[in-house]
Structure 1
Amino acid sequence: MLDLKHDLRLGKTRDEQARMNFVAGLRSHVLNDMANGMRAVYDAEVEPAFRRKAGRAPQDGPQVHQAIRPNEYFKFYSSLRVTAQDMVWQSVFPPLERQRADLKQKAKSLATRRKSGSLKLDANLPVPRSVSALDVHLMPGNYDGEYEKDDLAAGSLYDNGLAVFSFGLMGQNLDDIGQSISRFVKARYPGFKPQDVLDLGCTIGHNTGSWKDTYPAARVRGVDVAAPCLRYAHARAQAQDRAVDFEQMNATELKYPDASFDVVFSSMFLHEVPRKDITRVLAEAYRVLRPGGLMLHMELPPNAQLSPYDAFYLDWDSSYNNEPYYKPFRDLVPQQLCEQAGFSSANYVQFVVPSIAWFGEQAIANAVRAPGSVDSDKTGRLSDGLQWYCFGAWK
């Protein structure tokens, strides 16, 4: 597994490190070897049985799910994947609880020593029930859980947990999404030089800071509703000498003036938002974007652009990983969402961007010349050879 490099990383005993390594290896086994095994079982047993009964193959993800649910391999895969997900967080709790006070002190020390970036919290901002009422990704306490003054433990749990969860696929700073996509944008549009960048639903700023790396002259801001994550995000950015401004704000009601940003970005955010709020988020993105600016959302690819099996595979999280808005979002049509927000259909864009962490820098240049396929078992799927899907529009 990846070991975090910044000053807020948790110290681990050898037993704790071994436990995290085991969980990371287990997740890699489930999402690579067992996932491939489940696909083989589907092709050899489940799909032929469905075809014999229905006279045709399954036509969409729900039909694949219904057909495979009684299968023992699917049950074993799902049980082990849920268990591994829970083990991710449980592996982080012991060192986190032991170092909770030290973590707060480190954050205060960083704020004293380094004045880069800023943090602005709003104690009166209501946290939406879509966030507060469930433990998304089975993460105990969710992103907004606070148990003491100036609590930032949720951010640390997420940061250290993601290092285990992603088993090395998210890059050295867990920012592969932001690094890959921002560099793709720079390579594809060399004349585009954004001065103001906004990251919606930024959590702890993994991918927010990537835009500062790619466009050093830009002012980069990240917003989220979860105060503990923002406290941690600010300290994390300071630990890495990144000047990023974080503010507690709901993306459905941004407090910025019209035409304030050249880029409005999000990563893995919209599928955690209720359908009614997605419309508001995109409308707000349109409002705060300057003419000639770019809205871009890294997301899971839409079901309509995938095979029935791949649609089922990605929608697994909606049924078993406490992500109730995941499938409803992926059933939507991204271009229609952009048009409803005010963007012209002629200005719609979507890309498949290779992971820099997996493929290297040259893959970005290659992708600019020859775009990748959305309908691939590597698109949006956390496994070897992954590539990221994103959509949006120019204003």
Structure 2
Amino acid sequence: MEAAIDLKTQYRHAVLPKTVSDEASRQEFVKSLKLHLASKVAPGNRLAYEARAGKAYAAATGSAPANYHEIRKAMADDPYFRFWSALQRNSQEMMWNAVQVPVQRSLDTLIDVGRTEGDAGGTLTLNPDMEIPRYHRMVDIHCMPGGYHTDFAQNDVANGAVYDRAVYLYAMGRMGPFNSDIGDTTIAYLKQNFPDLKPRRILDMGCTVGHSTLPYCDAYPEAEVYGIDVGAPVLRYAHARAQDLGQKVHFSQQNAEHTNFDDGFFDLIVSHILVHETSHKAMRNIMREAHRLLSPGGVVIHAETPPYRALEAFDAFMLDWDTRNNNEPYWGASHEIVSADIARETGFDPAKAFEGMQTSVFDAAEAERTKVFQGGDFGGAGMWYVWGAQK
């Protein structure tokens, strides 16, 4: 009889780095610190705003802050906000350090495991000549050293391994044992809103290590599943992980702005937290490419945290923290997107654009969510914003 999977512990597949006691304790400390900051320290920012910063701004300008931009100006020099912000940034850097140590210690073993082929039947195609987009080369997104694309060794899987464990810590264990919450939740939205969709082929754009890719293998068992990313190390890791978990996925190193797939090849195109890591221009190129790749009636859907227009101004300010403090330069602009407008710009019928909030499929299994959207508390609200269009 197969043992039950612990929903609050990351699943130990073959390529996940093993930790010794001190390493595991350090990682657990970072996870606990992040939860403490999100649940106990972050709420003090609203008190500081209401009691001090908002009033000071109104006295200086003659009116209260009208939007999240003005709230940011009001809070910029507030000592409590600066205190929380510094702790939040430090927790992020501590997280990367904590996961890098066991990866570095065991990298040769991880590379060997990564090169072992399983029986799942998936494929991996890399392109060493592919140009990494400038918007990834110029900044380590979310402070991850080397980003998704940097190789530190031959056949490297290091940053795949680092990302896999870090996502679990960053989300404080609230995205399920496979870190698959966003994919599972997006699938729930698709099943509810596009019940007749029977995709033959599915593409996950910006798949990284396949956290949200693999759920589509089970949700649509008759479909061929493909995943693309710009990073070779994360794709090597994704392929090894999928093989070990018995899931057949075809991974390839490609830029989602322009792929080598044929016109109309896919019936479903998905992305999970890709949008906020691409530039204004790139996002529109990606949607144009999605339009080219989709068959008639096919669907493209992106999952993110909610647009700022859906939040009250102070909550939008708190969620915007990542834009300036977590190496997420495109975060803010991505949260201003209106799905119908993007559809109109990129070849889709705006009348067939959609958006919505979907409750996390793991929400009922977790008791430690803050139930708010705020910087440094990824997934803490227990909901994901999905938007897209049907061709």
| Residue 267 of structure 2, aligned match among 239, 262, 286 | 262
SS in structure 2 at match of 1:11: coil
Q: Counting helix residues as a fraction of each chain, which structure ranks higher?
A: 1
Q: 1:105, CA displacement in angstroms?
A: 1.2
| Residue 16 of structure 2, aligned match among 9, 17, 30 | 9
Q: Percent identity of the aligned residues? A: 35
Deviations 1:149-168 (A, max 9, x none): 11111100110111221111
Equivalent in the alignment of 1:88 = 95
What is the letter of the counterpart of residue 43 of structure 2?
A: N
SS in structure 2 at match of 1:119: strand
Deviations 1:113-151 (A, max 9, x none): 424211011111111121122211111111111122111
| Residue 239 of structure 1, aligned match among 240, 244, 248 | 244
What is the letter of the counterpart of residue 32 of structure 2?
A: G
Deviations 1:290-313 (A, max 9, x none): 111111011232223332212211
What is the letter of the counterpart of residue 178 of structure 2?
A: N
Equivalent in the alignment of 1:248 = 253
Pairs within 5 Å for 1:99-118: 99-109=106-116, 111=117, 113-118=118-123
TM-score normalized by the length of structure 1: 0.91
SS in structure 1 at match of 2:115: helix
- For the 8 Å contact 2:119–2:243, the answer to whether it is kept is yes
- For the 8 Å contact 2:92–2:143, the answer to whether it is kept is yes
After TM superposition, the structure 1 stretch with the greater mean CA deviation from structure 2, 185-194 or 77-86, is 185-194
Q: Is the counterpart of residue 136 in structure 1 residue 141 in structure 2?
A: yes
SS in structure 2 at match of 1:295: strand
Question: Using the alignment, how far apart are the partners of 1:318 and 1:80 within structure 2?
Answer: 16
Q: Is the counterpart of residue 307 in structure 1 residue 303 in structure 2?
A: no
Question: Using the alignment, how far apart are the partners of 2:372 and 2:27 within structure 1?
Answer: 27
Q: Is the counterpart of residue 70 in structure 1 residue 77 in structure 2?
A: yes
Count of residue pairs brought into register by the alignment = 379
SS in structure 1 at match of 2:104: helix
Closer/same/farther in 2, CA of residues 89 and 104 from structure 1, 3 Å limit = same
Q: Is the counterpart of residue 51 in structure 1 residue 58 in structure 2?
A: yes
SS in structure 2 at match of 1:208: coil
Equivalent in the alignment of 2:40 = 33
Equivalent in the alignment of 2:5 = none
- For the 8 Å contact 1:379–1:386, the answer to whether it is kept is no
| Residue 172 of structure 2, aligned match among 135, 159, 167 | 167
Q: Is the counterpart of residue 296 in structure 1 residue 301 in structure 2?
A: yes
Q: 1:332, CA displacement in angstroms?
A: 3.4
Deviations 1:265-291 (A, max 9, x none): 111111111111111111000110111
TM-score normalized by the length of structure 2: 0.92
Question: Using the alignment, how far apart are the partners of 1:54 and 1:211 within structure 2?
Answer: 52
Q: 1:41, CA displacement in angstroms?
A: 2.1
Q: Is the counterpart of residue 359 in structure 1 residue 361 in structure 2?
A: no
Equivalent in the alignment of 2:3 = none
Question: Could you list the runs of 5+ residues in structure 1 that have no partner in the other structure?
Answer: 362-375
Pairs within 5 Å for 1:318-357: 318-357=323-362
Q: 1:238, CA displacement in angstroms?
A: 0.6
Question: Could you list the runs of 5+ residues in structure 2 that have no partner in the other structure?
Answer: 1-7
After TM superposition, the structure 1 stretch with the greater mean CA deviation from structure 2, 227-236 or 140-149, is 140-149
Pairs within 5 Å for 1:151-190: 151-190=156-195
SS in structure 1 at match of 2:164: helix
Question: Using the alignment, how far apart are the partners of 1:265 and 1:186 within structure 2?
Answer: 14
